[in-house]
Amino acid sequence: MQFNLKLIVKTFYFRYDFFSDCMRVFCRPFNRVIAMNKGEQVNQDEEGSSETNERVDTAFSALRRAILDRALEPGARLPADSIGVGFGMSRTLAREALLRLERIGLVEMRPKRGAIVACPSISEAYDIFDARQVLENRCIEHVIRRWNSEIEAQLEDHVKKEETTARFGDVGASTHLAEDFHIKLGHLSGNQVLAKFIEETVSRSSLILALYGGPHQTDCSVSEHRMILNALKSGDQSAAQNLMNGHISALQSRAVVDEPPAEKLRLEQIIGRYVTSSTG
């Protein structure tokens, strides 16, 4: 299956990724080993420059959004060559972006088949939400222990943005902000390992929602985030944890419905939709 990656890049909203620097450093040695095994020459200048790092960030962010918006379907092949051409960078850097996507559970690297968009099963979907309950409960404990006026201001600002965006009915932006609420809480826990696992499970949940979900109710999600924030502000840990548990259960019921996935759109339909949104 072929994708017009340049078109996808143009149509996506690029967001700064909290883990970009540390994940890039983590993936680099593996990329070098893979490239050397394949007899590719690793360009030290290209690898280290901030400009090329930005290109990897851009490819990572655009592909992440394309996968979560289902412009790239689960199971779709992601050839490093095509991605490199589409984003104007080498195959080695394209692979770096793919490895970062693998680290957050959105891409699977398969021997001889290369990278494909991940396709979690229903049973994995339940496992992901179960893991989120444990991780995000622990996260609440840490956030309450570290609570201060700066953390409060950051979360208040974020939830206000969610509320404003929801009022304008921008479902796409609301969904991105809703994911970021959980990722932000993970970072505010002060435990970067916990934050990394939360980011991965949040990304996987979004993929599951895209695969198996019913209609997304963004207003419900925002009001639940507001209630969690209010409990955090009052320092009531058990209330915040109960609200988070209820919120994740509600997310699961929205994300996993007992109906078959919607009929797949043809590539031309997908491209047509993004052409319209980028020119409208």
Compare residues 83 and 209 and give the one whose CB is closer to Zn ion.
209
Interface stretch with Zn ion, choices 19-27, 76-84, 152-160, 178-186 (CB under 5 A) = 178-186
Task: Annotate each residue in 121-160 with x if it binds Zn ion (CB under 5 A) or - if it does not, as one string.
Answer: ----------------------------------------
Taking residue 74's Cβ as centre, other Cβ atoms within 10 Å add up to: 19
Alpha-carbon torsion, ordered 41, 44, 46, 48, to 10 deg: 140
Write down the least CB distance from residue 168 to Zn ion, Å.
19
Compare residues 27 and 229 and give the one whose CB is closer to Zn ion.
229
Compare residues 109 and 250 and give the one whose CB is closer to Zn ion.
250
- In angstroms, the CA 33 to CA 107 distance is 19
Write down the least CB distance from residue 209 to Zn ion, Å.
11
Write down the least CB distance from residue 65 to Zn ion, Å.
18
Compare residues 129 and 212 and give the one whose CB is closer to Zn ion.
129
Write down the least CB distance from residue 181 to Zn ion, Å.
5
Compare residues 107 and 198 and give the one whose CB is closer to Zn ion.
198
Task: Annotate each residue in 189-228 with x if it binds Zn ion (CB under 5 A) or - if it does not, as one string.
Answer: ----------------------------------------
Write down the least CB distance from residue 236 to Zn ion, Å.
18
- In angstroms, the CA 198 to CA 257 distance is 23
The site that binds Zn ion (CB under 5 A) totals a number of residues, namely 1
Compare residues 178 and 232 and give the one whose CB is closer to Zn ion.
178
Write down the least CB distance from residue 222 to Zn ion, Å.
9
Interface stretch with Zn ion, choices 19-27, 90-98, 173-181, 267-275 (CB under 5 A) = 173-181
Write down the least CB distance from residue 244 to Zn ion, Å.
9
Compare residues 178 and 256 and give the one whose CB is closer to Zn ion.
178
Pairing of strands 107-110, 114-117: antiparallel
Contacting residues toward Zn ion, per CB under 5 A: 178
